[in-house]
A = this chain, B = another copy of it.
Amino acid sequence: MVSVAAKGDDDGIAAWSAFLRAHAGLVPVIDAELRRTTGLPLTWYDVLLELNAAPGRQLRMQDLGERAVISRTRVSRVVDELVTAGYVCREPNPDDRRSSFATLTDHGRRVFRRAAPRYLDAVRRHFAARIPPEQLRVVRAALDAVLDPPADG
């Protein structure tokens, strides 16, 4: 026997391929819909969401980079844009003057709350509604597991 491509490998690569294709197909669609219906790009929405959920509606840039789906370097640029738009302001951190907070403004909060139902609806229609409920829970568990550092790979 020259090569034994185990069945599990096929399932793994097929799932990976579906994962890449689903992302490439879905994210641009949902981003475009969000821009059209709310004026917010997905990246902005994501940052506003994390700030809105944070205590005092503010986060250090570092922490924002860890929570939002956005690279650490990118955070500075996006927060610049959000400050210009009036949705966020920067505030000094009295405990450590190296760092600063990004804080959601009242205006930013209103814009976020108005956008949230549109976002949830888009995700539901394009993603969640196409997957049986019991599979949704499996997908979540599986993709969460991928990011943990469970021992070794």
Contact = CB atoms under 8 A, between A and B. Distances in A.
A124 interface: yes
Q: How many copies does the complex hold?
A: 2
A2 interface: no
A96 B127 CA distance: 38
Interface of A is mostly: helix
A127 B69 contact: no
B147 A141 contact: no
A20 B16 CA distance: 14
Interface residues of A, number: 48
A123 B12 CA distance: 8
Interface of A: 8-9, 11-16, 18-27, 69-70, 120, 123-133, 135-148, 150, 153
7 contacts: A11-B133, A15-B128, A18-B140, A18-B143, A19-B19, A125-B153, A138-B142
